[in-house]
Structure 1
Amino acid sequence: MSAHPSPRRPALRGALAATLAAVLGGTLVSCSDADPAQVSADQGAQDASVEERLADLAQRAADEGSLGVVVRVARGTDPPVEIAAQTAWAGDDHRLAVGDQFRVASNTKTMVATLVLRQVAQDRLGLDDPVEEWLPGTVPGGEDITVRLLLNHTSGLGDYLLTPEFLPSLTGQEQRAWTPGELLAVTPPPAPPGEQYSYSNANYAALGLILEEAAGEDLADLIEREITGPLGMADSFLSSDAGFDPAKPHAIGYEPDSERLRALLAPIADLPEGVGFVGPERPDGNIDTSGIDPSWAGAAGGMVSTAQDWQRFQTALMSGDLLPEAQMEQMLTTVAAPEEGGGYGLGLMRVDSPCGTVWGHTGGHPGYSSEIYTDEGGSRSVAVLTTTNFNVKEPEAAAANGALVDAAVCAVLGEPLPEASPAG
């Protein structure tokens, strides 16, 4: 599923425009003059200060509307910073933990793109192959759309996500097992291919079909054999129904009730009266959406994972362990995508923050959203996972969530954290 059914909030913006506090600063001393014990103590104090700031920001984000937040900052050989925070009433449903499974949604696209590029490296598939060659009669305008254009969202295909046919499945009002072909059939007519970036889940619905044709294997099996199995990602799998792994804890996700949802989406979609998420009612006008069947997400957003597992995948990818150099270069070749904070490569976002460039993806599914990034070398990574998608589009919640992501990215890159706002 798309990371942003409505236009995505500007990535890593807002609080980073403020003056950066010298949290990690201090007087520099030469290595020859420094007392190693004092240096170690100073570093420990700095790390504690960063963790405390992130914990405060995570709790503020949870209380302002994110409801539940997991933050995991991994900086090479240093012990990771791991934080779980949630608003009080959500703790009565489930005590959130850093190791909980989440639906990582459109982060799935990075994994699918990796598998496509592995097929390219084996000469089983070409980036410039016409889609029609692989899926005859399935993708509108497929004779003029290439695999590369699907991967970087310049195919011109529209998105099925908020179409009248699909919306009841998104909200859980209709339980329907959509096939990728059926999703492509309700996708809005395409614009001319290759002209501009336009994010669409339809691109990856098509790529999932092409990948299975090229590999001769079911997508879920391919993911396990080539990525999650070899990397030891024991908490990660492509979901085929509403269930999580029953043997492991998972986060409970929430969305606004129909009245709040209608107001949020008013700028981009006029929802019919009564359309809203299905699930148990919870406090403050929220709905528990954990039971919504996401089997339709597939190659566009069907993965279940944890912060640590997905960071392991992104670290392996950016370190060059999963793709040959030529295919890695192709993946990192981006088109302009200002709404993503920088550019979009082949299943991978480049986010240019004032603290430095990070690579990764975002994800959004009813009840779950995520931003997971690494540095270009793959040595440092950060994950911010929340137990809602639409709630963080309300102004105060968006500001608090954005401040948390800004600070977490600065922390993983070893840069000073942004100053707190006057209100904070």
Structure 2
Amino acid sequence: MRTIAAIVACILLLGAGAARGGPMQEDVDRLMRDYDGAVPGAAVLVLHDGEAVLRRGYGLADLETAAPVAAASNFRLASLTKQFTAAAILLLAEDGRLRLDDPVRRWLPTLPEAADPVTLHHLLSHTSGLVDYEEVMPEGPAAQLRDADVLRLLEQHDRLYFAPGTDYRYSNSAYALLALIVGKASGLDFAGFLRARVFAPLAMDGTVAFEDGVSAVARRAYGHSQVDGAWRRTDQSPTSAVLGDGGIYSSIDDLAKWDAALYDDRLLSEASRALAFAPQTATATGEPDVDAYGYGWRLAGDMLWHSGETIGFRNVILRFPRQRLTVIVLSNRNHPEPYRTARAIAALWLAPGND
């Protein structure tokens, strides 16, 4: 586990610009140089004390049209989606529509008997022991899975990896089921609930839980992968239509509004935010730079964070609430993983004299 002091030490690698004092655009440009030019790119946002102190796009959102990445470009968030899924459950708990200690089979009774001890809390904290749906998908070409298809796959496997609450195993299955539960408890589908209760109230006008043929993604960034030394569009996989674990598209501009809402009661109550940001795992996660998992958030010392990886996209959000600092990097390419780059960017603002 790297400490804040270790993060600050990263600035020694960033050259004389950072050493002179204030964070400088050229230092971030240097860190992001591989994303710039006629290649799949990235959008970078740094928020400090509620202000966007850096907001910039690099490279292209779509190689086919040469559309540049902009602050309003919408990327598939992948697992950054999980913080929104968790928030939806917490909102419904505030409404009295469900309880976090509800058995999952109260809402999804077709799950096998092995799931009897599993609660919504276990789903949120990755302590359910549910089978990973990616491991039991049929082989060969198939239509894209949706959240309801995840449920149908799990119905066929009457087993768990471990007794609920006794261990931690990151679970996309759990968050797909949570999306279905949002629909059952609210009377809306998952995408509709998020639109009505999260995106519209926060004026996140470009953000959508994307359903092909139902909704559209404005200013869309398309995913790419490097194959045999050349970049190719690789935007969708068989799991790309599952919403609860990774189906939201958003931009750094809209995520700035989301970040602001995590500091006050405009969306979630103080009690709900405390649950989301508190350690909910009793055992070590085994993941690098993770002390514990909350509800939709990884916890590491003073930092709340999450990564999101799917075909053609790599994303990360780092939040340092005590320092009122947030760094977001959204990219539409399969590499590199941007976590270390985001940490180095954060180091510029966490350095002594930049508080």
CA distance in 2, matches of 1:217, 1:377: 36
Matched, 1:59 2:7: no
Counting only pairs closer than 5 Å after superposition, residues 113-128 of structure 1 correspond to structure 2 as: 113-128=86-101
3-state SS of the aligned residue for 2:182? Answer: helix
The answer as to whether partners of 2:58 and 2:68 remain within 8 angstroms in 1 is no
Partner of 1:175: 143
Matched, 1:250 2:220: yes
Matched, 1:287 2:232: yes
TM-score normalized by the length of structure 2? 0.83
Matched, 1:373 2:310: no
Which structure would you say has the larger Rg?
Answer: 1
Tell me how large the CA RMSD over aligned residues is. 3.4
- State the Cα distance separating 1:90 from its structure 2 match: 4.7
Partner of 1:299: 244
Percent identity over the alignment? Answer: 25
3-state SS of the aligned residue for 1:73? Answer: strand
Amino acid at match of 1:58: M
CA distance in 2, matches of 1:292, 1:242: 16
Of stretches 231-240 and 204-213 in structure 1, the one that deviates more from structure 2 is 204-213
Structure 1: runs of 5 or more not aligned: 1-9, 27-42, 258-282, 393-397, 418-424
- State the Cα distance separating 1:197 from its structure 2 match: 1.3
CA distance in 2, matches of 1:86, 1:226: 33
CA distance in 1, matches of 2:203, 2:230: 39
Partner of 2:345: 408
Amino acid at match of 1:341: D
CA distance in 2, matches of 1:286, 1:140: 46
1:200–1:240 Cα change, 3 Å? same
Of stretches 366-375 and 108-117 in structure 1, the one that deviates more from structure 2 is 366-375
Partner of 2:287: 339
CA distance in 1, matches of 2:192, 2:238: 20
Matched, 1:106 2:85: no
3-state SS of the aligned residue for 1:74? Answer: strand
- State the Cα distance separating 1:368 from its structure 2 match: 1.1
Amino acid at match of 1:175: A
How many residues align? The count is 341
Partner of 1:217: 188
Counting only pairs closer than 5 Å after superposition, residues 34-49 of structure 1 correspond to structure 2 as: 46-47=22-23, 49=24
TM-score normalized by the length of structure 1? 0.71
For residue 153 of structure 1, the aligned residue among 113, 126, 129 is 126
- State the Cα distance separating 1:100 from its structure 2 match: 0.9
1:110-168 residue CA offsets vs partner (Å, 9 max, x unmatched): 11111111111222211111111111122562211010000000000122225452x75
CA distance in 2, matches of 1:219, 1:196: 28
Counting only pairs closer than 5 Å after superposition, residues 1-150 of structure 1 correspond to structure 2 as: 16=7, 20-21=11-12, 46-47=22-23, 49=24, 51-60=25-34, 67-76=40-49, 78-86=51-59, 90=63, 93-138=66-111, 141-150=114-123
1:346–1:77 Cα change, 3 Å? closer
Partner of 1:277: none
The answer as to whether partners of 2:264 and 2:270 remain within 8 angstroms in 1 is no
Partner of 1:266: none
3-state SS of the aligned residue for 1:129? Answer: coil
1:215–1:407 Cα change, 3 Å? same
CA distance in 2, matches of 1:371, 1:242: 28
1:315–1:350 Cα change, 3 Å? farther
Amino acid at match of 1:408: I
Amino acid at match of 1:410: A
CA distance in 1, matches of 2:276, 2:294: 5
